[in-house]
Amino acid sequence: MNYLSFRNRFIEFGCFSVHQVGVAFPDFDRNNLTRWQRKGLIVKLRQGFYAFPEYAAQPNFAFFVSNYIYKPSYISLHTALAFYGIIPEAVTQITAVSALKTAAFENDFGSFSYMKMKSELFFGYDILSFGERNIHIAQPEKAILDLLYLYPFYNTESEIANLRFDEDFIHNDLNIGKLALYLDKFDHKKLAKRVEIFTNLFDI
């Protein structure tokens, strides 16, 4: 198979897997992927997953990559909070939670980390559309809870204050009712204590 035919078949997907290639072209020679990767025509994302390099310039495509290469997962923690402008931290690594084991990958699209979340806590995310792509990302309230749950060292006012939460968001946009509802679903006393420290810090 020549590259042009392959590209025409998969370019609209942005990312593709070896499994998808096998379904579309049962006689496909996987050595082609290695050759095309060496030529810079495709990029390896992780074992069995690839993308077309031109998508690197597309805004938020790395978020789509994060969702795609490790399922089920959704963007959360520092990355989601920075995306919403709730914390000022520059995102150098895309952070997500997953019902699978903790994992990390690096490729030409960025550095991706996933922290394991129990399946019963896998909720509180939205599906946002960016052009033709959908991205699973935590709601602000869930991103805060995920952070305080998975990073237990945020257990003092000074540690939480160091995150530099946007106080306008906290006082005007944070849905306290949703935060409380989601917290109840965690049913976790130590998390509840950390959330109490958080709410006391901002007097909410």
- Would you call the peptide bond into 72 cis, given omega within 30 degrees of 0 as the criterion? yes
Q: How far apart are CA 138 and CA 69, in angstroms?
A: 17
This prediction has a pTM of 0.93
- Structure confidence by residue, pLDDT tens digits, 62-109: 999 999 999 999 999 999 999 999 999 777 899 999 999 999 999 999
pLDDT at position 90 is 74
Q: How long, in residues, is the chain?
A: 204
- One-letter amino acid for residue 41 of the chain: L
Q: Which tokens sit at 128? A: 């946002």
DSSP 8-state code for residue 40: T
Q: How far apart are CA 194 and CA 189, in angstroms?
A: 9
CB-CB contact of 103 with 136 (8 Å): no
- Structure confidence by residue, pLDDT tens digits, 7-48: 999 999 999 999 999 999 999 999 999 999 999 999 999 999
DSSP 8-state code for residue 62: H
pLDDT at position 132 is 83
Query: Which residue is associated with the tokens 């990302």?
Result: 137
